[in-house]
Amino acid sequence: MSPFDGKAQKKRFFTAGVCGFCHGVRRAISIFEQACSEHKSKIYVLHELVHNTFVSRNMLVRGAVFVDSIDDIPAGAVAMIGAHGVSPQLEKLMRERFTVIDSTCPRVKTLQTMAENVKPDEELIMLCKKGHPEAVGVLGYSGTEKIYPVSDVQDAANLPELKNAVLLSQTTMSGAFVREIHELLKKRFPELEFIGNICDASSKRQSSVEKLAENCRCVLVVGSPHSSNAAELVGVAERCGVAAYLVENGNAVTSDMLAGADTVGVTAGASTPDELIDDVKKRLSELGYSDGDVCNG
């Protein structure tokens, strides 16, 4: 029986079958925790370990110090590379100055290797959020100096004539966006080689939110505003034609968001911990919604 049977009878919320922490984020947090027990000193983290404010606050309590530049890290300190990775140039500098702990997600490492293997006479097009740490890191590995970051259709249309282009995507882009741009570019560059797609964790969360959106009037995505993959989940739900909101926790859920919605879908980005998903569900219960089950599609 579908979990949505009888949904018209009362207000209910449904949870995405795949949501919240991905394996890369779990791994990065576990590496940080292990570092805390092994090193009694502060642990300097470049940018953020993962893009979630709640996770970062908990890390501060454990002794993390977040910095925007390696110049803010004292020589000899313990410095951590987050799940998004860094460029090889930056990693080399870090290893010369600090004790480095690397929590780059293995899936991002694969992308870095793909970029490194691009030949000097080829052009590398990367579908990405410009300036995102993962994109900066991956492009730093590029084997060619001919680099073209593409964030939207306009960027794709503005590309010059390319002779030997290869295409890869940041791991957390929308699958629909990647397919659209790939199709568009293939028309212009028939020999285009597509070497790296979004990661499995992102595609599973995006498929799962599509199922939710097909069956709910409103979708809440739990995540921080600077989380790329959480923002993509909002976009996926909206493209399915439902109202979708990014909420950091239960306090951010308002009656206005839910106006007229008898069924609400709950999902979360890959950097969102279970505590926050539970907090949003608790808030929905307070607003009169009962737990309708997990939506596996």
Binding residues for ligand SF4, per CB under 6 A? 22-25, 83, 105, 107-108, 171-172, 199, 201-202, 229, 270
Distance CA 185, CA 286 (A): 49
Q: How far is the CB of 199 from ligand SF4 (least distance, A)?
A: 3
Nearer to ligand SF4, 3 or 175 (CB): 175
Q: How far is the CB of 102 from ligand SF4 (least distance, A)?
A: 13
Nearer to ligand SF4, 142 or 169 (CB): 169
Give catalytic status of residue 193 as yes or no: no
Q: Hey, what are 232's tokens?
A: 């993509």
Nearer to ligand SF4, 22 or 231 (CB): 22
Q: How far is the CB of 34 from ligand SF4 (least distance, A)?
A: 17
Catalytic residue among 134, 210, 232, 248: 134
Q: For tokens 């964790």, name the residue.
A: 201
Contact 43, 63 (CB under 8 A): yes
Minimal CB distance residue for ligand SF4 = 24
Q: How far is the CB of 255 from ligand SF4 (least distance, A)?
A: 32
| 106-116 vs 23-38: helix crossing angle, rounded to 10 | 110
CB atoms within 10 A of CB 111: 27
CA distances (Å), origin 166, targets 116, 186, 188, 200, 225? 12, 11, 13, 21, 31
CB atoms within 10 A of CB 161: 8
**Nearest to 232, CA basis, from 174, 153, 182:** 174
Looking at the annotation, which residues are catalytic?
Answer: 134
